[in-house]
Amino acid sequence: MRPPKQAPKTSQHIGIEWATHMVWPDDASHKHNRGRLAVVSGGPLQTGAARLCAAAGQRIGAGWVSLIGEPAAALMMAHHETERLILARMPDHTLLDLLYGFDALVIGPGLGLSPQCHKDVVSVLTGFDRPIVLDGDALALVAQDGVSGELGQALCARQAPVILTPHQGEFERLFPQANPSVKLAATLECAKLYRTLLVNKGHQTIVATPQGRIGLSQSTTPFCASAGTGDVLAGMIGGLLAQGLEPFDAACGGVWLHSQAANRAGPGLIASDLIAHLPDLLNELAPSPLKRANPPADHP
Ligand SMILES: NC(=O)C1=CN([C@@H]2O[C@H](COP(=O)(O)OP(=O)(O)OC[C@H]3O[C@@H](n4cnc5c(N)ncnc54)[C@H](OP(=O)(O)O)[C@@H]3O)[C@@H](O)[C@H]2O)[C@@H](O)CC1
Ligand SMILES: Nc1ncnc2c1ncn2[C@@H]1O[C@H](COP(=O)(O)OP(=O)(O)O)[C@@H](O)[C@H]1O
């Protein structure tokens, strides 16, 4: 008797393999063709989450990263930012006007929950045809609407890629019928329901597509449970998307680099430490000619 056919391998631990999809710069690279990432900020007292996110997107390789905010928030960001470009959204600007030319978008960290924020998330889901990461308050707005509400329907109808990055609380609000004791099955069901790629975070992080492809990661230090680390993950994934990685590879790459950076930071970790560990990690992955130059042996 012939052995039964093996089930297709759809689930795997997220290891270094994703890095074969990494995009590296070459002699023809310039800042505008290495990926342009936009991050939408909240109001003037809530710019920190978006700034962490944007910094992570730039460190992971996007060549041009902009932070978008209403004038008071833009001014606040301009006081802090050096490498990120600030776009002030004047009253006559729509968000889509400002997104022209960007390769990827992150919206949600520190965004707020106002009717205008709701409108903005609807407008990007229906009108921005490049990959989007929805995190933080954007997920709260989707959960408020439910799958049959305006945002849920916009997600289901969207053709271009979108990645949702909920923590456990956000996941339970997005998918209240979930049984928390079966996280993998619940994540898959939720990805199918919203027809979108999901990164369900926590001690065990699960990447799941509506088609049933899965990546698992559970080797991250619990010191990662610190405010802002999720914003950094959203920025890492956004930065990889802006560079042209396929959504599943960008999600797995972001999760892997984030967990490696967290493990290197260890006790005392705060969110910006994850960004600081990216250059060493990327240097280890880079092809030989692109690796950092070693100082001469007699260098002080
Ligand atoms: N630098 C900055 O400016 C930062 C700004 N940030 C911004 O703040 C905004 C609010 O963000 P948020 O994460 O607090 O989200 P929110 O929707 O209020 O849900 C929180 C509630 O959910 C529950 N909960 C259950 N499990 C949970 C879990 N695993 N992880 C977390 N929560 C869990 C728990 O409820 P409890 O269990 O306590 O009843 C908890 O009270 C958002 O815009 C974000 O981007 C942050 O990114 C930080 C850095
Ligand atoms: N106990 C834990 N062990 C490992 N990683 C964790 C743990 N708790 C949280 N994390 C990770 O930390 C990050 C927290 O994300 P999130 O709660 O969205 O942060 P924030 O919204 O404050 O930026 C996620 O990447 C999550 O996987």
| Residue numbers of the domain that contains 100 | 32-277
From first to last of its 300 residues, the chain has per-residue pLDDT tens of 444 444 344 568 999 999 999 999 999 999 999 999 999 999 999 999 999 999 999 999 999 999 999 999 999 999 999 999 999 999 999 999 999 999 999 999 999 999 999 999 999 999 999 999 999 999 999 999 999 999 999 999 999 999 999 999 999 999 999 887 899 999 999 999 999 999 999 999 999 999 999 999 998 999 999 999 999 999 999 999 999 999 999 999 999 999 999 999 999 999 999 999 999 999 999 999 999 998 777 766
In a domain, 297, yes or no: no
In a domain, 66, yes or no: yes
Residue 139 alpha carbon to ligand 2 centre in Å: 15
Q: Could you tell me which of 233, 242, 197 has the C-alpha nearest to residue 215?
A: 197
The tally of domains found in the chain comes to 1
Residue 203 alpha carbon to ligand 2 centre in Å: 7
Residue nearest to atom 19 of ligand 2 (CA): 230
Secondary-structure percent of the chain, ordered helix, strand, coil, rounded to 5: 45, 15, 40
In a domain, 112, yes or no: yes
In a domain, 187, yes or no: yes
Q: In this structure, what is the dihedral angle of CA atoms 199, 202, 206, 207, given to the nearest 10 degrees? A: 20
Segment holding 207, helix H or strand E: strand 205-208
Question: Given the CA of residue 139, which atom of ligand 1 is nearest to it?
Answer: 17
Beta strands 214-217 and 205-208: pairing type?
antiparallel
Measured at the CA of 120, the angle between CA 148 and CA 113, to 5 degrees, comes to 75
Residue 83 alpha carbon to ligand 1 centre in Å: 28
Residue nearest to atom 7 of ligand 1 (CA): 110
Measured at the CA of 197, the angle between CA 111 and CA 258, to 5 degrees, comes to 70
Q: Please work out whether the CB of residue 167 comes within 6 Å of at least one atom of ligand 1.
A: yes
In a domain, 270, yes or no: yes
Rounded CA-CA distance 107/202 in Å is 20
CA-CA-CA-CA torsion sign (96, 190, 187, 207): negative
Q: Could you tell me which of 159, 197, 150, 193 has the C-alpha nearest to residue 174?
A: 193
Residue 94 alpha carbon to ligand 2 centre in Å: 32
Residue nearest to atom 8 of ligand 1 (CA): 110
CATH number at residue 267: 3.40.1190.20
Measured at the CA of 216, the angle between CA 231 and CA 54, to 5 degrees, comes to 20
Let me know: does 3 contact 33? Beta carbons within 8 Å: no
The residue whose CB lies within 8 Å of the most ligand 2 atoms, and thus the one to mutate among 139, 201, 218, is 201
154 in a labelled binding site:
no
In a domain, 175, yes or no: yes
Residue 230 alpha carbon to ligand 1 centre in Å: 10
In a domain, 25, yes or no: no
Q: What is the ipTM of this complex?
A: 0.97
Neighbours of 81 (CB within 10 A): 18
